[in-house]
A and B are shown apart, each in its own frame.
Chain A
Amino acid sequence: QSALTQPPSASGSPGQSVTIPCTGTSSDVGGRNYVSWYQQHPGKAPKLMIFEVSKRPSGVPDRFSGSKSGNTASLTVSGLQAEDEADYYCSSHAGSNNLVFGGGTKLTVL
């Protein structure tokens, strides 16, 4: 149950796009289409932004998109806004009905 790998930080200016990668293995990200992304503001609970690699729950802006290639999933935030500044975590089904999270990426809007 090794954590997925994310860069500790990412940044972009308002209006720009930023992509956050999440690297796993063929046992988790690469072998399943159950990758999710969560947004967490300081002191708050996480919020589901993407599920099943690229699907958005109702209410999540279409500025948020997800994709996957091989063992790496990615979250792209387009048209960056100040309120997008937060920590972002990927997760994936793994092994025998386990869940694994990435280490998290702090997104800064410059």
Chain B
Amino acid sequence: QVQLVESGGGVVQPGRSLRLSCAASGFTFTTYAMHWVRQAPGKGLEWVAVISYDGTNEYYADSVKGRFTISRDNSKSTLYLQMNILRAEDTAVFYCGGSYYYDSGGHYLQIGNGIQYWGQGTLVTVSS
């Protein structure tokens, strides 16, 4: 069955770095754009970043641009999020998600089409 397993979360001081990983299995990883979505405690979902199926294109929310870097290793079916210069407001559960790269009409979508697969999330707490 489909599994996305995030890891790497924890408590980190403001200004420091953290790297999240998301191991995928049970689906053809190379046909999915992959996203990171976060959810601050008691708050709604916030899209963070996406990487195209082949890793050639990355897009970021304004709130993380220049601080976070999304990447993937298709040989390992693994997604990453390198988070630098962390702030208290980055405290959240981070979910990875997979989005098929074609729409129902067969059109290619760089950022995919609806996030079909979700991990269970990993908590990142930024605190001194």
- Write the residues of chain A forming the contact surface with B, with a CB cutoff of 8 angstroms: 1, 3, 34, 36, 38, 40, 45-48, 50-52, 55, 57, 87, 89, 91, 93, 96-104
Bound-complex Cα distance A69 to B95 (A):
30
Rounded to whole Å, the gap between the CB of A71 and the closest CB of chain B is 19
B contact patch SS = loop
Q: Which 4 A-B pairs have the closest CB atoms?
A: A51-B114, A104-B44, A45-B118, A99-B47
Bound-complex Cα distance A97 to B59 (A):
7
- Write the residues of chain B forming the contact surface with A, with a CB cutoff of 8 angstroms: 35, 37, 44-47, 50, 57, 59, 61-62, 95, 103-104, 109-111, 113-116, 118-121
Bound-complex Cα distance A104 to B50 (A):
21
In the bound complex, do residue A101 and residue B45 qualify as a contact, i.e. CB atoms below 8 Å apart? yes
In the bound complex, do residue A97 and residue B50 qualify as a contact, i.e. CB atoms below 8 Å apart? yes
